């Protein structure tokens, strides 16, 4: 292969500016972390509510929750990105739409957070539902028999156990969210994949660029994995299902 290697490229200055290529990758990493972490908070909140509602003894609520999950789970993430970015503003009144399209600050960032957060919420919801349904029915009945209301039964009996059970699959989702955030480059968020494309175009050192970016994504996902493993260990209660190993 006739490739001109240059591992020092990261410390070189970009063509039009004082910053180095490393600075580009670091700002890119910052946006990747910001999008992923904010989307994860949104996904956990919405996913918990929707997943719980799917098991509720109320047909309307359960139907709405199922519709939520199927909508966000069955459309490819990239298509959802474009729907939120290009289509959603067109449904607003004309003046508001123009504001969103031209003047709203950080619109790409918020669009990406909402899109990625809701997409992941459908997956979190399925895991929350699975966690709840994996508990013996007796738990639910015992809670009610003790005089708890239905919300209290969920709050004090079912959810504390369900959440402990689903920590391992949630770990995968948390790692996925960092990797999925790369789709946000398509609507112009200046995250890691965006900066990688920019750097490869500017420097023509594509292999070094993508190896570095691969390593950064790997580190993000790996730290997420270790963090969740720590939570898994800390939240384990002796005698509960999650602890039976």
CA distance 143 to 18: 64
Biggest distance spanned by C-alpha atoms of the chain: 76
Q: Is 197 in the site for another protein (CB under 8 A)?
A: yes
Q: Is 20 helix (H, G, I), strand (E, B) or coil?
A: strand
Interface segment toward another protein; rule CB under 8 A; list 35-43, 114-122, 154-162, 184-192: 184-192
Angle at 223 between CA 176 and CA 124, to 5 degrees: 35
Number of residues that bind another protein (CB under 8 A): 32
Burial class, 121, CB count within 10 angstroms (exposed 0-12 / middle 13-18 / buried 19+): buried
Indicate the residue among 121 and 203 with the shorter CB distance to another protein: 203
175 phi/psi in degrees, rounded to 5: -70, -40
Q: Which of 204, 219, 223, 229 binds another protein (CB under 8 A)?
A: 204
Q: Minimal CA–CA distance to 118: which of 169, 166, 83?
A: 83
Residues belonging to the chain: 245
Site string for another protein, 108-127 (x = CB under 8 A): x-------------------
Min separation Cβ 25 and another protein, Å = 15
Q: Is 191 in the site for another protein (CB under 8 A)?
A: no
Q: Is 90 in the site for another protein (CB under 8 A)?
A: yes
CB 128 within 8 A of CB 47: yes
Q: Is 16 in the site for another protein (CB under 8 A)?
A: yes
Structure-block tokens of residue 31: 């946006």
Q: Which of 11, 63, 75, 86 binds another protein (CB under 8 A)?
A: 86
Indicate the residue among 70 and 204 with the shorter CB distance to another protein: 204
Site string for another protein, 209-238 (x = CB under 8 A): --x---------------------------
CB 119 within 8 A of CB 72: yes
Structure-block tokens of residue 133: 């349904």
Q: Which of 194, 212, 217, 228 binds another protein (CB under 8 A)?
A: 194
Q: Which residues bind another protein (CB under 8 A)?
A: 1-6, 14-17, 86, 90, 98, 101-102, 108, 185-188, 190, 194, 197-198, 200-204, 206-207, 211
């Amino acid at each position: 292969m006739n490739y001109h290697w240059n591992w020092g490229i990261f410390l070189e200055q970009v063509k039009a500016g004082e910053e180095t290529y490393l600075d580009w990758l670091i700002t890119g990493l910052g946006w990747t972390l910001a999008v992923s972490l904010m989307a994860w908070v949104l996904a956990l909140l919405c996913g918990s509510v929707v997943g719980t509602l799917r098991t509720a003894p109320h047909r309307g609520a359960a139907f709405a929750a199922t519709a939520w999950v199927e909508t966000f789970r069955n459309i490819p993430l990239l298509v959802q990105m474009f729907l939120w970015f290009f289509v959603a503003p067109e449904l607003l009144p004309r003046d508001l739409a123009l504001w969103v399209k031209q003047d709203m600050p950080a619109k790409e960032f918020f669009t990406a957070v909402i899109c990625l957060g809701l997409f992941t919420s459908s997956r979190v919801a399925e895991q929350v539902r699975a966690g709840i349904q994996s508990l013996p029915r007796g738990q639910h009945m015992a809670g009610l028999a003790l005089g708890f209301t239905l919300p209290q039964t969920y709050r004090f009996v079912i959810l504390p156990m369900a959440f402990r059970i689903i920590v391992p699959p949630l770990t995968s989702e948390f790692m996925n969210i960092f990797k999925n955030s790369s789709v946000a480059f398509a609507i112009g968020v200046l995250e890691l994949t965006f900066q990688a494309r920019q750097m490869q175009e500017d420097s023509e050192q594509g292999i070094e660029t993508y190896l570095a970016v691969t390593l950064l994504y790997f580190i993000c996902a790996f730290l997420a994995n270790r963090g969740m493993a720590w939570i898994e260990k800390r939240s384990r209660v002796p005698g509960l299902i999650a602890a039976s190993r």
